[in-house]
Amino acid sequence: MYYQKTMLIVFVTVFFMFLTSDLVLQVKQTSLSHGLLNALFPPNLDFKISSNDASEGGDKVKEAVTTSLEKGKAAVEESAKSAADVTKGTAQKLKDTFSSSSDL
């Protein structure tokens, strides 16, 4: 249905554009054609949620949050290990630099 409506909008818009060469008239005719098509095919504004859909949605959100937190925790742990390795390497280099300079 959406594809058919889109194709109809394109057809009507292009049809009206071929009738005139004036840009202002094209814009007016385009808005008129969109208004006409919206009158013929009104948008579906029914956003009612049944109780089953609401509970399933809540469960999905809980699962998504849990998964996200687990992945975040793993990423933080990996970052901490990486930072510790870099810090350890830097500390060892500094220690070697200062111990070799004090031997001179």
In a domain, 104, yes or no: no
Number of domains in the chain: 2
Q: Does the CA dihedral 57-62-66-69 come out positive or negative?
A: positive
Q: Are residues 43 and 57 in the same domain?
A: no
Q: Give residue 72's pLDDT.
A: 94
Q: Give residue 38's pLDDT.
A: 80
Q: Which residue segment(s) compose the domain that 2 sits in?
A: 1-47
In a domain, 10, yes or no: yes
Q: Give residue 53's pLDDT.
A: 59
Q: Are residues 54 and 95 in the same domain?
A: yes
Place of tokens 């925790």: 73
Q: What 8-state DSSP symbol labels residue 18?
A: H
In a domain, 1, yes or no: yes
Per-residue pLDDT of the chain (104 residues; tens, 9 = 90+): 666 777 777 777 666 666 656 667 777 777 877 787 788 777 777 767 666 655 666 788 888 899 999 999 999 999 999 999 999 989 888 888 888 766 55
Q: Give residue 19's pLDDT.
A: 63
33 exposure class (CB count in 10 Å sphere: 0-12, 13-18, 19+): buried
